[in-house]
Amino acid sequence: MSITSEFNPEVNGWYFENWGEASEFSWDLFRRTYLAINPTHDCVEAPLDCAFYEIFKSCAANGNCGGMSMLVLALYKYGGYMGFCSPASFYTGDIIGTPSGYLGPDRADLHAAINIMQARQFSAPGIQNFLDVVKAGELNDGEAAFDKIKSGLASGDYAMLSISNGLFGDAAHTVIPYAVDEHPAGFPAGTKLLHIWDSDRPFNAFRAYYIDGHNIMIIRGATDWTYDQNAGTLYSDGRVYDGSNNGWCFAIPFSLELHKARQPISVGFVLTGLTTLFVSGVGAAVTQIEDDAGRRFYTSDSLHLLRNEIETGSARRLEGVARWPWYAASKNGELPGELFFFQRPSGSPPLTVTVSGTQYRLQQAQSGHLIEIQAQSKAVARDKIHVEDFTGDSQAVELHTDGEKRHFHIHQLRADNIDGDWRSIHVRDALVSKADLRVQTLGGLDAVEVSSLQEKKEFSLEFRRYYSNTLSQHSAGPHKVAAGKAVHLTPGDWNTLEHTVVKSRTRKR
C-alpha cells in the first residue's frame, strides 16, 4: 500500500536537504503564515500578535523538516501548491550559508513557502491534534501511529510522522511515511514497517539508502520501534531513533496543518480555552507545573531532561497540560524556549508554574488575554508564579522567589473587543528578596491592588489603554507597600481621565 503505485522518493522528494535558518523569521512571513496578523510589527496596535511572534520567529532555527514534508505532500497530492508544481525534485538547491551548512532550495520563493509550512505546525487543528494525542496516551505509540498512517494512505489524507529520542526536543524530526508493510518478509511475526522519505536524506545524495530499502521504521510494539538514518550509508551524521528512549512517535494528518488559520492567542481564536505558556531565557527552565489540588506535570520539582519525568500516576497526573515538541529545533542543543499548551475544563483549580534561572521572560496567553513576567538577578533563583482567574475580572498574579534582590516586571493585558482595543497595567522594577508579591486587577483592569506578606516593596505602575487608534497612558510611582498591607490604585474613569496621548494613527488591517 502506498500513496499511489507511482510514488517514488527520487522523483517526488526534494532534491535538496533539510536546512536550519541563519536568521529569525520576518514579520512578513508571520503574516503570510496566519490569518488576521497586523500589517506591521507594532506592539501597540497588536500586542497579542507580538507576543506570539516571539514563539514563531525561531521555529525553524535548526530545521525545516515539517515544512518540507508538508509542502512535498501537497505537491504530490494536488499536483501543485502555493505556485509550485509536482514533482518536487524539479527544484534544485545550493549551499545557502546556514550555520549547519545544509543544502536548501536555491529559490527565495520556495525557501519562504517551506518556512510558512514549517510554521503552520502551530495551526489550531495541529495543536488540537497534538493535545488529543497526549490525552489519549499515544505520544509515543508506534502502533497507533501506524494505524493512522495506514488509514491516511487509504483515504488520501496522508500523514506526516513526528519522532524524537529521549531528551526533550532531542533530534525532533518530521518525516513522510509513504508506504506500509504489515507482514514483511524476514522479520518476526507481528513486525510492521513504514517506508520513509526523509528530508535529511534526499534521494540524489543517498541513493543506496532508498534503493536498498534501508529507509524503514521497524515497529515491534507501541514503544518498541526504531528508525536508523545511517543504515546502509557511509555517513554517521544521522541519528538512530528508538522508542525505548522515552521520546515520541505520533502521526499528523497533513490536511490539519496545510491551510492558513489564526495564531492561537489572537482575539476570536476558534480553539476555545487554549492557554499558551512560553518561557525563554538562557539557562531558564520550567521545573514544575501544579494545581491547587496537588496534581503536577512532573514527578519532581527539578530540572528535567527525560520524558519519563512527566507524572503519569492517575492520582497525581495534571490533565490538560502538554509540552510542545520543537520539530528539528535542537540540532545544536538549543531550543527557542519551553512551550506548553493548557486546555483544561472550566472551573479547574489555578496553576502554579515554577521557573528556575538567572533571568527569563514568561508569557501566559489565551485569546484576548496576556500576562508577561520578566525576572532578573545576578544569581540563579527559583520563582513560583501562581495565576488566578486568568480570564476573569479579578485576575491575580502571585509570585514567590527564593532569590536575593530579584527584579520583576509584571504586565497584564486584556482585549476590549475584536477591533484591537485593549487595556493593560504594568508593574515595573519591583525588587523582591526571598519573599512574595501579589498583583490583582479588579473590575477588568479598572483598578489594581498590590500586596506583600513578608517585606516592604517599592514599585512603579503604569496604566495604558489603546482605544480608537489612540494610545493613552498614566504612570505613577514609585509606590510603597508595607509588609502585610495592600495598596489600591486606579487610573480613574478610563473614558474621561486625561492621559498622555502617545500615539494616534489609523489602523490598517
Please report the pLDDT score of residue 502 as a whole number. Answer: 65
Which has the closest alpha carbon to 423: 396, 441, 399?
441
CB-based burial label for 104 (10 Å; 0-12, 13-18, 19+) = buried
pLDDT in tens, 294-304: 999 999 998 88
Residues contacting 253, CB < 8 A, separation 6+: 129, 148, 152, 157, 158, 159
Tell me the average pLDDT of the chain.
86
The helix-helix angle for 65-78 and 108-119 (nearest 10°) equals 100
Nearest to 274 by CA among 338, 321, 311, 327: 321
pLDDT greater at residue 226 or residue 335: 226
Between residues 270 and 475, the one the model is more confident about = 475
pLDDT at residue 59 tops 90? no
Which helix (DSSP H) or strand (DSSP E) does residue 47 occupy? helix 47-56
Asked if 436 and 430 count as a contact pair (C-beta separation under 8 A), the reply is no
What is the spatial distance between Cα 375 and Cα 432, in angstroms, rounded to a whole number? 10
Residue from 502, 420, 337 nearest 40 by CA: 420
Q: Which residue has the higher pLDDT, 312 or 494?
A: 312
Residue 399 in this model has a pLDDT that exceeds 90: yes
> What pLDDT is recorded for position 332?
47
Torsion of CA 54, 59, 62, 67, to 10 degrees: -150
Rounded CA-CA distance 59/259 in Å is: 18
From residue 356, give the alpha-carbon distance in Å to each of 92, 302, 352, 375, 382.
Answer: 45, 9, 13, 10, 4
| Overall average pLDDT of the 415-435 stretch | 90
Mean pLDDT of 166-171: 58
| Overall average pLDDT of the 21-30 stretch | 88
pTM over 0.75: yes
pLDDT mean over 329-348: 73
Please compute the mean of the pLDDT values over residues 353-374 and round it to a whole number. 94
Over range 298-324, report the average pLDDT: 86
Task: Give Rg (Cα) of the chain.
Answer: 25
Per-residue pLDDT, averaged over 27-33, amounts to 94
Whether the bond between 478 and the residue before it is cis, its omega within 30 degrees of 0, is yes
Element (H, E) at 109: helix 108-119
Q: What percent of the chain has pLDDT over 70?
A: 88
CA 301: distance to chain centroid?
A: 22
Q: Band the pLDDT of 57: cuts 50, 70, 90.
A: confident
* Lowest mean pLDDT, pick from 33-47, 330-344, 451-465, 479-493: 330-344
**483-502: per-residue pLDDT in tens?**
888 888 887 655 554 556 66
Task: List phi, psi (to 5°) of 213.
Answer: 75, 30
Picking from 111-120, 260-269, 329-338, 349-358, which range would have the lowest pLDDT averaged per residue?
A: 329-338
Domain ranges of the chain: 9-256, 266-504
CA distance 242 to 245: 6
How large is the average pLDDT for residues 102-107? 78
Question: Locate cell 499515544: which residue?
Answer: 138
